[in-house]
Amino acid sequence: MTRRILVSSHAHLLLATALSFAIAAPASAAILHYRAILNGPNEAPPNLSPGTGVAEITIDDVANTMQVAASFSGLLGNTSACHIHAPTSVALTGTAGVATTTPFFAGFPIGVTSGAYNNTLDLTLATSYNRSYITANGGTTATAEAALLAAIAAGKSYFNIHTTTVPGGEIRGFLQSFDPTPTAKSSWSRVKSLYR
pTM of the full predicted structure? 0.80
Q: In angstroms, rounded to a whole number, what is the distance separating the alpha carbons of residues 73 and 50?
A: 9
Structure confidence by residue, pLDDT tens digits, 8-32: 444 444 444 444 444 444 456 789 9
- Do 40 and 48 form a contact (C-beta atoms < 8 A)? yes
CA distance 70 to 38: 10
**Amino acid (1-letter code) at residue 40:** G
Percent of the chain with pLDDT over 90: 76
Convert the pLDDT of each residue in 104-120 to its tens digit. 999 999 999 999 999 99
Question: Cis before residue 50, ω within 30 degrees of 0?
Answer: no
Q: How far is CA 93 from CA 71, 146, 189, in A?
A: 22, 21, 37
Q: Looking at the domain 31-178, which fold is it? A: Immunoglobulin-like (2.60.40)
143-175: per-residue pLDDT in tens?
999 999 999 999 999 999 999 999 999 999 999
First to last CA, the chain: 76
Q: How many CB atoms within 10 Å of residue 194? A: 6
